[in-house]
Amino acid sequence: MLRTLVIRDFILVEYQEIAFTPGFNVITGETGTGKSLLVNALLLLLGARGREEWVRPGSSRAVVEGCFSLENAPKAKRKIEEFGIPLEAGEFVVLSRELTPEGKSRARINGRIVPLTFLRDVGTSLVDICGQREHTSFFTSSNILYLLDFFLSEEGKGIKEKYRICFEERKKLEEELVSLERGQEKELEEVEEILEETERLGLTPEKILAVEEEFGRISQAQKYLEAARTFMETVLGDRGFLQKLSLLRALFRDLSADVHEILGRVEIELEEALGRVKAMEDSFSFSPEEIEIVERAIAEVERLKRKYHFLKTSDFVTFLEGARARRETLEREIARKEKLRECLERQTKELFLLGEELSTERRQAFEIFRMRLLEELRTLALPNVTLELLFERKKHPDPEGIDNVELCVALNPGMRALPILAVASGGELSRIILALKSITSSLWGTPVLVFDEIDQGVGGITALGVGDKLKKLARTHQVLCITHLPQIASFADYHLKVEKFYSPERVWVEVIPLSSREARLQEIARMMGDEGRESSTLEYAEILMRKAQGGTPEIK
């Protein structure tokens, strides 16, 4: 519920703090006094794009603040709490919007600066504004389906829930498939081409490392072999070191036991070194065929390194190892894509089947919808209306189903039903919207309903029907209605009057609460074209108010 609206330097309002009450709030005033500025102020507060002319001339900024009770607004309350904004004591929230002449704006909730999108999100969960500007959006297929589904049977609601679940599951499959649609087949072909060439040559990463090691040994073989031959000749040749050592040992056998023992140990170590040199010599002995095989493999490795732009063999090996791992990943992804396509095909068939069932249930629901709506329209001086709902299959299913719908109407007997926006006048559209809101009032989770120009093209006893409907809506919502009809104003629980004042220097607007019954009678009389000077007009205003309070007569 909107408790207070504070307006500073907005259009012709210098400062105004306007209080509202629960129930049916009516705003009236002479044509041109600025009644619509209240709607514009609310639009700005709820996140609409600001206009330069909304800032009062000579002011640095316009400010609109609204204090709302969250007692019947659980959705808005949840959004605010999730954003981390503490609520005022008693669960009140203050929305605020500033606008500069340059068109810059700032949004706040409970004094904290918030993104405009968040203010708009919270605002639309608190207030619903219905006026001539909203007629086109009100009769969209999406909104009509939203209203129609209110009349689904329990079975129909169950089918709609199954459809919703199926659609979400299908959406997840599509998203996963899209994430995998990165041209894996072409990439796999390229990777396999690389690996096929290397594997055909037997050059796996392990083999390349082995060949590199073998080639290194072959390259060093001559040096090792020459060292081995020199060692062997020095140790084993005629009068070689081993033979001399043996002579020395024999010489000291009787002269010095210590020297003889040391020379023995040297001989043992030398023989062990000799064994190792022989083993080394054997390991570095390669046949011409072995050398040719290794050199041919090395040449292929070098060719591949040049082809794929690698200087280091280790980098090339890492590349091949990555290619093998990538091939395995791509093969898994391609297999997963095939499975996803199969699942998606099954899910799509299931979705269309559920969509067809939902469409059938909606056609049945429309019969109830039509009956209820026609009953409401009869009380709004539209007794001969014919309603049809045109169903059209969508190209692709969406969260709402497989139906596009258009509400068609014939306003007079014998006429063909045509799309409602094409044949209904502004006043007729307003009454149809009001009837729709009346039969689906529990759908509107927004606690505040604002009606601007709902009475356009309406008069006489029809206006009493409109007032009665607004009054009934005010049982479950706070209703704010800007009207020029005395019949509607007579139903008000709370009456506000917009007045424009002039001085030589300036012009300004004030919103004045009509707190007494006498003040209300005077205003209703003025709305009838009298300033309250004629007693008959005041008497009729009194009759009108009593009739509004006692119930509206049925309109035939």
Residue 380: the pLDDT is 84
Q: Which of 192-206, 218-232, 310-324 has the weakest average pLDDT?
A: 218-232
Cβ(422)–Cβ(136) under 8 Å? Answer: no
- Residue 108: pLDDT band (50, 70, 90) is very high
Confidence of residue 24 (pLDDT cuts 50, 70, 90): very high
Q: Which helix (H) or strand (E) holds 94?
A: strand 92-99
**Phi-psi bin for 74: left (phi > 0), alpha (psi -120 to 50), beta?**
alpha
Q: How many C-beta atoms surround the C-beta of residue 253 within 10 A?
A: 13
- pLDDT confidence of residue 553: 44
Dist CA 253 CA 261 (whole Å): 9
Structure tokens that stand for 438 in this block: 């009346």
Residue-wise pLDDT tens digits, 223-273: 666 676 777 777 777 677 777 777 777 878 877 778 888 888 888 888 888
Residue 154 pLDDT: 95
Mean pLDDT score across all residues of the chain: 83
| Mean pLDDT of the 140-161 span | 93
How much is the pLDDT for 155?
95
Please check whether residue 50 is in contact with residue 99, taking contact to mean a CB–CB distance below 8 angstroms.
yes
Please identify which residue in the block is written with the tokens 């396509």. 341
Neighbours of 141 (CB within 10 A): 17
The CA distance from 85 to 112, in Å, is: 8
State both tokens at 8: 């500073």
**Range with top average pLDDT, 120-129, 330-339, 456-465:** 120-129
Which stretch of DSSP H or E encloses residue 321?
Answer: helix 313-378
In this prediction, residues 412-424 reach a mean pLDDT of 88
24-28, 240-244, 467-471, 480-484: which has the minimum mean pLDDT?
A: 240-244
pLDDT at residue 515 in the model:
87
Confidence of residue 551 (pLDDT cuts 50, 70, 90): low
Interatomic CA distance for residues 37 and 56, integer angstroms? 12
Q: How confident is the model at residue 207 (pLDDT cuts 50, 70, 90)?
A: confident
Residue 441 DSSP one-character state? G
The least confident of 174-188, 245-259, 261-275, 295-309 is 174-188
SS3 84: coil
- Least confident range of 87-101, 135-149, 211-225, 355-369: 211-225
User: 145: closest CA among 449, 358, 450, 373?
Assistant: 358
163 close to 360: Cβ distance less than 8 angstroms: no
**pLDDT level of residue 184 (50, 70, 90 thresholds):** low
Q: Report which of residues 358 and 90 the model is more confident about.
A: 358
Give pLDDT, residue 352. Answer: 93
Three-state secondary structure along 447-515? Answer: CEEEEECCCCCCCHHHHHHHHHHHHHHCCCCEEEEECCCHHHHCCCCEEEEEEEEECCCCEEEEEEECC
Evaluate whether 110 touches 85 at the Cβ level (below 8 Å): yes
Question: At 554, is the pLDDT very low, low, confident or very high (cuts 50, 70, 90)?
Answer: very low
CATH numbers and ranges of domains, the chain: 1-126+446-515 (3.40.50.300), 184-335 (no CATH)
218 pLDDT band, cuts 50/70/90, is low
Residue at 20: amino acid letter: F
Query: DSSP states of 223-292 as a string?
Result: HHHHHHHHHHHHHHSTT-HHHHHHHHHHHHTTT-HHHHHHHHHHHHHHHHHHHHHHHHHHHT---HHHHH
- For the stretch 324-348, pLDDT in tens is 887 877 777 777 778 888 888 999 9
Strand order in the sheet with 24-29: 127-130, 448-452, 478-482, 24-29, 494-502, 507-513
Compute the distance between CA of residue 518 and CA of residue 496 in angstroms, rounded to an integer.
Answer: 13
- H-helix or E-strand spanning residue 335: helix 313-378
Identify the pLDDT of residue 334: 74
Cα 501 from Cα 508, distance rounded (Å): 5
DSSP-derived secondary structure letter, 443:
G
d(CA 483, CA 481): 6
Q: Which of 413-422, 435-444, 541-550 has the highest mean pLDDT?
A: 413-422
Put simply, whether the predicted model's pTM sits higher than 0.85 gets the answer: no
Question: Taking 70 as the threshold, does the pLDDT of residue 96 lie above it?
Answer: yes
Distance CA 180, CA 479 (A): 52
Structure tokens at 65: 């603040």
Query: How far is CA 481 from each of CA 100, 357, 452, rounded to the nearest angstrom?
Result: 28, 40, 6
Question: Sheet of 386-398: strands edge to edge?
Answer: 386-398, 401-410, 418-419
pLDDT class for 555, splitting at 50, 70, 90?
very low
How are beta strands 105-109 and 112-113 bridged, if at all?
antiparallel
Q: Which of 82-86, 105-109, 331-335 has the highest mean pLDDT?
A: 105-109
- The helix (run of H) or strand (run of E) holding residue 411 is none
Q: Give the burial string for 330-357 (b: 16+ CB within 10 Å, else e).
A: beebeeebeebeeebeebbeebeebbeb
Quickly state the pLDDT bin for 145 (edges 50, 70, 90). very high
Number of H helices, E strands in the chain: 18, 15
Of 30, 88, 86, 129, the closest CA to residue 451 belongs to 129
Please give the order of strands across the beta sheet that includes 13-19.
Answer: 13-19, 2-10, 62-69, 92-99, 105-109, 112-113
Mean pLDDT of 470-488: 90
Non-local (6+) Cβ contacts of 73 within 8 A are 125, 126, 445, 446, 447
